[in-house]
Amino acid sequence: MSYQVFARKYRPQAFDDLVGQEHVTRTLKNAVEQNRLAHAYLFVGPRGIGKTSTARILAKALNCIHGPTTTPCGVCDSCKEITGGNSLDVLEIDGASNNKVEEVRTLTENVRYAPVRGKYRIYIIDEVHMLTPAAFNALLKTLEEPPPHVKFIFATTEPQKVLPTILSRCQRFDLHRIPANLIAKHLQFIATNEKIKLEPAAAHAIARGADGGLRDAESMLDQLVAFCGETIAEADVLSIFGFTSEQTVGAFSEKILRGETAAALGLLDEQAAAGKEMMKFMSDLIAHLRDLLVFKVKPDALADEAAPGLQSSLGAEAALIETDRLLDLIEQFAAAEGRMKWSPNKKLHFEVAVIKAIQTLGQVTLTEVIENLTALRGDSAPAPIRDRARDRSPAPPTATVTPSVSLSPTPLSAPATAPTADVSTIWPQAVQLVHKRRPLIKNWIDTARFLGTDGRNFLLGFAPDQKTVMESLARPTNRSFLEGLLKELTGTDWTVQLSLDESLPATPPQVIAPAPQPPRPNDSVETFRDDPLIKEALEIFKGEIKSVAT
């Protein structure tokens, strides 16, 4: 037997062979079983996912000698002719090349004749949206009053271009992009049959590259077999098609989310130097960010798409960014992708997009400003001011934490690298620097309690009612800003760890007095005026301090 490409050799021949379209096959099988057949069907979906295969299987189901049946035998003359594409009763027309009025007119005139062998004359019109309006109109006449022995099966990638009068006369089925894991599984099935050794990662890389199209995936496998022989590794797939591995795309996205501009650009450069197609890498990045978005909204929704093992790393990455920022990021990269398409220097546009994205991540969003103001308003209510004044007076000059913290029942492991006492003197300085350099988060930082250190972890605790503040501070930009400050002050790398501590009082804790300053006069108006929180509150409420109640 002559060589057949996989897409042809493994073309589905029965409803149950169709991959990833159960929602369509189930309905069609029911219709055939109950003999509730429509005159015209429309199969909609991207290319290479099984629209014409479904049409042919439906044709066999109707015209099989045992038909109509949900399981066409595949061996009767009618089935064999349909499979071979030479049935006189099943006419396949390519809308793209047969869009002239006369041809459609001939077709619709032939409609009158009874079928030769089977029960129905079946017209399969692929890319039906390509027909000219005149051809559509000729077709419409038949569609309005089709003879009982005629069935139309249309397929299209662009349903919006099909005339509404045609659409309204069809039973429409939307075929889906096939999930990557299903494609990979199907490729493994072919590989086993063909005695090819296909690495699971390689199968997944092909499936990802095929973007939901089974036919493309099968053609890629064909090419790989021609090129690599009987053993196919992931590296082969990546190098032959210029794809980037999922791990690399993940690492790249993580660098962007962490704001590591130099590292991200370095990785981009590496990929360009390795001859990777920049457009493909960009679309991979966008697809990855989209996966992250889906993961944030519904973690189990990716079970069919993401390679096993990738799910956990998605989880870690998803924690780095909030949903609205991720949406912004996807929009930015999609716009950049559009610009890249027409530009001779694609890499440059890519780099600019990465830099801009990281810059945007560092900016404060409106949500953050509002959260901040809300927090500030809450803080500057009269009652807490009194409390604050009382709390502050007895505070020793080097006070770092209020007593409640030392009583914290949270088990903290003993500090490993530096004694807590030393590091604790750092915290007030850090707080001071935050006030100076990033006033927007100073109110958040004031609600944090220094809990101690654990190895290289710098532990900050928050009262349970300060959860939103803690989450705001946990944003990558804020966290890396704090880590930068701590490094500046101690010369050591720290990982800032934020946690809720039940033992902390619900009232926002004390603003920590900066270490080097002498004790302040108790409850004086000056103390209040110096308080940055009060300053900001006065700004907001356009007020002035008349007196301080004690």
Considering the complex, what minimum distance in angstroms separates the CB of residue 60 from Zn ion? 6
Tell me if the bond preceding 68 is cis, omega within 30° of 0: yes
Q: Beta 449-454 vs 457-462: how paired, if at all?
A: antiparallel
Complex with Zn ion: residue 16 or 269, whichever CB lies closer = 16
The Cβ of residue 256 has, within 10 Å, a number of other Cβ atoms equal to 26
Considering the complex, what minimum distance in angstroms separates the CB of residue 18 from Zn ion? 18
Burial (Cβ within 10 Å: 0-12, 13-18, ≥19) of residue 68: buried
Alpha carbon 56 to its chain centroid, in Å, reads 35
Site string for Zn ion, 79-108 (x = CB under 5 A): x-----------------------------
Considering the complex, what minimum distance in angstroms separates the CB of residue 78 from Zn ion? 6
State both tokens at 277: 């197609």
Complex with Zn ion: residue 68 or 415, whichever CB lies closer = 68
Considering the complex, what minimum distance in angstroms separates the CB of residue 11 from Zn ion? 16
Kindly state whether residue 58 participates in binding Zn ion, applying the rule CB under 5 A: no
First to last CA, the chain: 99
Considering the complex, what minimum distance in angstroms separates the CB of residue 87 from Zn ion? 11
Considering the complex, what minimum distance in angstroms separates the CB of residue 205 from Zn ion? 38
Measure the CA–CA gap between 308 and 387, rounded to whole angstroms.
Answer: 54
Kindly state whether residue 61 participates in binding Zn ion, applying the rule CB under 5 A: no
Kindly state whether residue 182 participates in binding Zn ion, applying the rule CB under 5 A: no
Complex with Zn ion: residue 12 or 45, whichever CB lies closer = 12
Name the one range near Zn ion by CB under 5 A: 77-85, 172-180, 457-465, 510-518.
77-85
Name the one range near Zn ion by CB under 5 A: 71-79, 164-172, 425-433, 478-486.
71-79
Kindly state whether residue 64 participates in binding Zn ion, applying the rule CB under 5 A: yes
Considering the complex, what minimum distance in angstroms separates the CB of residue 161 from Zn ion? 35
Length of the chain in residues, anyone? 550
Name the one range near Zn ion by CB under 5 A: 70-78, 249-257, 258-266, 520-528.
70-78
Helix (H) or strand (E) holding 173: strand 171-174
Contact 422, 535 (CB under 8 A): no
Name the one range near Zn ion by CB under 5 A: 75-83, 396-404, 490-498, 522-530.
75-83
Considering the complex, what minimum distance in angstroms separates the CB of residue 153 from Zn ion? 18
Name the one range near Zn ion by CB under 5 A: 57-65, 169-177, 354-362, 382-390.
57-65
Considering the complex, what minimum distance in angstroms separates the CB of residue 83 from Zn ion? 9
Residues 6+ apart with CB under 8 A from 252: 264, 267, 268, 271, 285
Residues 6+ apart with CB under 8 A from 126: 51, 52, 55, 92, 93, 94, 95, 96, 155
Alpha carbon 482 to its chain centroid, in Å, reads 29
Give residue for tokens 């705001």.
Answer: 472
Kindly identify the residues of this chain, within the stretch 399-428, that bind Zn ion according to CB under 5 A. Answer: none
Complex with Zn ion: residue 71 or 261, whichever CB lies closer = 71
Considering the complex, what minimum distance in angstroms separates the CB of residue 173 from Zn ion? 23
Complex with Zn ion: residue 55 or 282, whichever CB lies closer = 55
Residues β-bridged to residue 155: 43
Complex with Zn ion: residue 13 or 527, whichever CB lies closer = 13
Complex with Zn ion: residue 56 or 288, whichever CB lies closer = 56
Vertex 207: Cα angle to 205 and 212 (nearest 5): 145
| The 3-state secondary structure of 494-523, one letter per residue | CEEEEEECCCCCCCCCCCCCCCCCCCCCCC
State both tokens at 21: 């379209």
- Residue 148 phi, psi dihedral angles, 5° rounding: -60, -25
Considering the complex, what minimum distance in angstroms separates the CB of residue 90 from Zn ion? 12
**From candidates 61, 76, 512, 513, binder to Zn ion by CB under 5 A:** 76
- Residue 453 phi, psi dihedral angles, 5° rounding: -125, 160
Nearest to 440 by CA among 335, 523, 536: 536
Long-range contacts of the stretch 297-305 (C-beta < 8 A, 24+): 297/323, 303/181, 304/179, 304/180, 304/181, 304/182, 305/179, 305/180, 305/181
Complex with Zn ion: residue 79 or 210, whichever CB lies closer = 79
Q: Identity (one letter) of the amino acid at 525?
A: V
**From candidates 73, 279, 412, 418, binder to Zn ion by CB under 5 A:** 73
Complex with Zn ion: residue 68 or 509, whichever CB lies closer = 68
Considering the complex, what minimum distance in angstroms separates the CB of residue 63 from Zn ion? 8
Q: Which residues bind Zn ion (CB under 5 A)?
A: 64, 72-73, 76, 79
